[in-house]
Amino acid sequence: MAWAQSDAKTVHLVALGDSLTAGYGLAPRDGFTAQLQAALTAKGHRVRVHNGGVSGDTSAGGLARLDWAVGREAQAVIVELGANDMLRGLSPKVTEKNLRQIIEKLQARGLEVMLAGMLAAPNLGPSYGEAFNGLYPRLAKQYGLVFYPFFLDGVAGDPRLNLGDRIHPNRDGIAVIVENILPTVEKLLARIAS
């Protein structure tokens, strides 16, 4: 990951995630990190948002590449992982264990962490959904994280806001995500400032 030179007052924020973070199927300027960067800049924040998203990544993949994906300049990380675990029907216990290790490693480095949650697809059944959906708020509470319950809030299931695959947000869908998540990201930045 390339870290451009910037002054000491600029906060370096890494979005560690999967295709939803990476900007699957979108021009670079239309992806999550670019739109979040623009929204934060427009609100007067001196922040550099780094794209640590890899399409198809699972929580295990995020854990495996954590050390090089989150550079030394980073001060905060948005963790957006688990959707691919769910789509593959992986055990929520495994997802939780991987996310727990990611959070602990980041906190051990003194980084502020924001956890972006995901919800299980209804076709996986109620027991899977209950197990999967519960792991995010549980981790957020246990580790005292800034928490955004559902990354795709307001976008999931709306064909106008998704690409043809009906899974990945289009440019307008990302704009909705950024608008919704912005106050939570600002809480994360406030923790760094304090």
Catalytic residues: 19, 165, 168
Q: 163 is written with which tokens? A: 């690409």
SS3 category, 106: helix
Residue pair 28/177 in contact by the 8 Å Cβ criterion: no
Task: Tally the residues of the chain.
Answer: 194
d(CA 194, CA 183): 17
d(CA 51, CA 71): 11
